[in-house]
Structure 1
Amino acid sequence: MMQLVTIFLGFIIFGFSENSKGPAIPRIQFDFMLNESQLGTLLSLNALGYLIACSFTAYLTRIWGIQSVTVISFAAMALSGVFIFFSASYPLFSASYFLMYIGNGMLEIGLAILGARIFVKNTGTMMNLSHGFYGLSSTVAPLIATGLMEVTINGYTLDWRGMYLVMLMLSVLPIISAFFSKFPGDEMKQEERVPLTTFLKDPVLWLMVCILSFGVVSELAVGGWLVNFLEKAYGWDAVSSSGMLSAFFLCFALARLLLGPLTDKMGFVLSLILFSGTSAACTFAAIAGGERLAFLFAAAGIGIAMIYPTVMAFIAKRYPNGSDTAITFTVTLMGLGSVIGNYVIGGVIEVVKGIFGADSPLGLLRGLQAGYGVIGLCAALSTVSGIILYVYLFKRKETI
């Protein structure tokens, strides 16, 4: 029971830390006078912290055990909230944000490893259910963040710094449950584990890397760019924009909570093709349809939500004795994709703005549309990678 509490609380905290940034980013951008390209670079550098954490977490898990690594990841996130609160300069803020992503990366790997060890039956259903708690917290995170930034205590307005302090200090709660949990799998001997060299030769895992990387770039970029897009392209206020982001994560959460059994019945790879394709179609339609079809930005969450937990379920089933290594390998390369993805989105916005007039409303609109189009393109590429993987596995009769 305490294992489940730790996993579910962990995903709730992860959702808060990852998706409170939507309403905060326009204000951070204003306070530090950043343009869209610099903003994309900031997000990419922080994704680099996530990538670095992913690369060493599995190693620490083998040395210290999953319990210690989980506690350390939550502690890093809580500490980053304190540093963000006191960040008066851009370098200190960047370093504090970087630390938060270190904690996020460690937590991502830790929860994935723990889920692979615990959910040995109905793997797709349970993976999606646990990740559904990430979707639930992500649904309310933008609204809570927007509300907290307006809170005034003794004449002091919390703003985005105080909001991050409050949100990230919630990491103390799963630390308590982790201390009372007994985590399985740490007793596995090193010789029983599948070596990394075996995975490097497996084309299936490389295709999974493609599916996950494109899918997660599409997923995470929404949290960073949707509010910015709606405020600047359509002139929406902060509450309406944050509400749309919350609607995205509501669709996201409900999909994981309700559609998990479908992945077990359909098969993991077919599910990935269907859901990533749906997300791509919704995103492109929302951009092409303008403000009247903006609700499709939220509907895209239904498809993109299923990619990460379904990939984790596939890995847990295909590599039962090497899931730690396989997850670390896959998620680390996914983190690299996130670094590149945010940089590309910011760069595309600036380039297209320059083509249509850097200082004109039309240039800003076309730039934002092109940048957000990269998000839809990533979902489409995830679909293509899934089709290639399905054909490969079908020919060898290895579909799961």
Structure 2
Amino acid sequence: MITSSKASKRNYIFQVLTVFIGFLVFGFSENVKGPAIPRIQTNFGLDEMQIGTLLSLNSLGYLLACSFTAILVRKWGVKCVTLISFGSMVASGIFIFLSQSYPALTGSYFFMYLGNGMLEIALAVLGAQIFVKNTGTMMNLSHFFYGLSSTVAPMLASGLMTVTLFGHTLDWRGMYLVVLSLCLIPMIPALLGRFPDQNDSGEERTPIKAFLRDPVMWLLVTILSFGVVSELAVGGWLVNFLEKAYHWDTTAAAGMLSGFFLCFTVARLLVGPIVDRIGFTLSLIILAAFAGVCTFAAILVGEPGAVLFAIAGIGIAPVYPTIMALIAKRYRSNSDTAITFIVTLMGVGSVIGNYLIGAITDGIKRLFMTSQGSELGLLRGLQAGYSFIALCAIICSLASLVLYRHLKRRNELL
């Protein structure tokens, strides 16, 4: 009995390490792109529209992975899918390192986001299965590690791109190779651990048609889509905004992005117990609204208010893990199907969102260029594109308010 208990605890440690370290490397892979994007843009001579297209195509790879990962989880198990996800991200680092053209880079990024999408689903399903107590706290804690690595990622990327090895500067290609190779580390606890099989739970599974008729699912899709666009867009656009709108150098701009992720990380570490106490839905309303207001204020105040871009991370950080906790509570026996359904449709919103940010930035820039000069045109374009990021957070909050009222009428508040 004691031996069995010790084995169970050891296995739980392997499961938790897989989730925590998995989110740690996930944060690195997602957020080193901030400092890299301007270098990639210069290297290949790309405009803002092409950058927006690059990011939206990457989101398409993420979306594609989300659409088939649940099937793979049910067929092969979450352990196998997790290992494949980590392995594909290591391979994508090699492909990015070897890319010498815009199409090759796009293909490499697309492949990396396939791995990211698979990992997102696998870690979310595993978390929903093993975090059965204090779900809001544990989900936020696991995503804290994403925030922790995201805080370090911009400065790490800036530093690595200047490192010289054997007479050659790593630049953005070598930086991606080094960072994505870190995905080998969480493969160790994933190999050592035994993961739960949801198919063996004995509980009746809800068919996908039932999810399609559930208004709560569609509200969660809306909340998560706008929330994630507002969250992830910061990693791709903040450094670009600060460098071009305010003429900051790369180190200063990357430092502000790290500041955003520092606020992001602290929020995920500390807000979880508050979310469990006041409720998931009410938390979403308050936090998303805070992020949107801070971002709009930063744009309106101008360069002196740039710190508000970082402070917005406090509000947007808990949105994703809080929704995952809500799903885990409401759809406990069908968490893999529910997560896949919501995250897949969220991917559609992410594709559209990234494309719109680039399109709005480029369109407004061209409009103002014709009448007020190229520099002011670029500034107005960047402000318009970033305002869309703030608007997404506000819409996320409003959709959460609709969800709150719907669940309260049915006495189903979580």
For residues 324-375 of structure 1, give each alpha carbon's deviation from its aligned partner in whole angstroms, at most 9, with x where no partner exists.
Answer: 1000000001111110001000000111112211661110000000000000
For residues 208-261 of structure 1, give each alpha carbon's deviation from its aligned partner in whole angstroms, at most 9, with x where no partner exists.
Answer: 111100000000000000000000000000000000000000000000001100
2: CA distance between counterparts of 1:62 and 1:251?
37
1:348 paired with 2:374, answer no
1:307 to 315, 319, 323: 319
Identity %: 64
1:60 to 53, 61, 72: 72
For residues 40-85 of structure 1, give each alpha carbon's deviation from its aligned partner in whole angstroms, at most 9, with x where no partner exists.
Answer: 0010001000000000001000000000000000000000000111
1: CA distance between counterparts of 2:95 and 2:202?
38
Q: Secondary structure at the match of 1:26?
A: helix
1:28 paired with 2:40, answer yes
1:370 paired with 2:384, answer yes
- Can you give the 5+ residue segments of structure 2 that lack an aligned partner in the other structure? 1-12
For residues 77-133 of structure 1, give each alpha carbon's deviation from its aligned partner in whole angstroms, at most 9, with x where no partner exists.
Answer: 000000111111222111111110000000000000000000111000000000000
Q: One-letter code of the match for 1:199?
A: F
Q: In structure 2, what is the equivalent of residue 149 of structure 1?
A: 161
TM-score normalised per structure 1: 0.99
1:394 paired with 2:382, answer no
2: CA distance between counterparts of 1:387 and 1:214?
14
Q: In structure 2, what is the equivalent of residue 71 of structure 1?
A: 83
2: CA distance between counterparts of 1:395 and 1:316?
21
Q: In structure 1, what is the equivalent of residue 7 of structure 2?
A: none
1: CA distance between counterparts of 2:97 and 2:202?
42
1:250 to 249, 262, 266: 262
Q: Secondary structure at the match of 1:182?
A: coil
2: CA distance between counterparts of 1:186 and 1:386?
29
Q: In structure 2, what is the equivalent of residue 319 of structure 1?
A: 331
> How large is the RMSD of aligned CA atoms in angstroms?
1.0
* Contact 1:76 1:99 survives alignment (8 Å): yes
Deviation at 1:191, TM superposition (A): 7.0
2: CA distance between counterparts of 1:273 and 1:90?
40
1:381 to 392, 395, 406: 395
1:140 paired with 2:130, answer no
Cα pair distance change 1:365/1:67, threshold 3 Å: same
Q: In structure 2, what is the equivalent of residue 172 of structure 1?
A: 184
Q: Secondary structure at the match of 1:321?
A: helix
Provide runs of 4+ in structure 1 moved above 6 Å: none
* Contact 1:139 1:253 survives alignment (8 Å): yes
Number of aligned positions between the proteins: 400
2: CA distance between counterparts of 1:172 and 1:47?
23
Q: In structure 2, what is the equivalent of residue 114 of structure 1?
A: 126
Q: One-letter code of the match for 1:8?
A: F
* Contact 1:84 1:161 survives alignment (8 Å): yes
2: CA distance between counterparts of 1:79 and 1:211?
33
Q: In structure 1, what is the equivalent of residue 15 of structure 2?
A: 3
* Contact 1:117 1:185 survives alignment (8 Å): no
Cα pair distance change 1:379/1:263, threshold 3 Å: same
TM-score normalised per structure 2: 0.95
Q: In structure 2, what is the equivalent of residue 41 of structure 1?
A: 53
* Contact 1:66 1:186 survives alignment (8 Å): no
2: CA distance between counterparts of 1:44 and 1:262?
34
1: CA distance between counterparts of 2:330 and 2:103?
43
Q: Secondary structure at the match of 2:112?
A: helix
Q: One-letter code of the match for 1:17?
A: S
Q: Secondary structure at the match of 1:397?
A: coil
2: CA distance between counterparts of 1:142 and 1:245?
7
Q: One-letter code of the match for 1:357?
A: M
Q: One-letter code of the match for 1:252?
A: F
* Contact 2:66 2:117 survives alignment (8 Å): yes
1: CA distance between counterparts of 2:369 and 2:200?
60
2: CA distance between counterparts of 1:105 and 1:398?
30
2: CA distance between counterparts of 1:89 and 1:206?
39
- Can you give the 5+ residue segments of structure 1 that lack an aligned partner in the other structure? none
Deviation at 1:177, TM superposition (A): 1.2
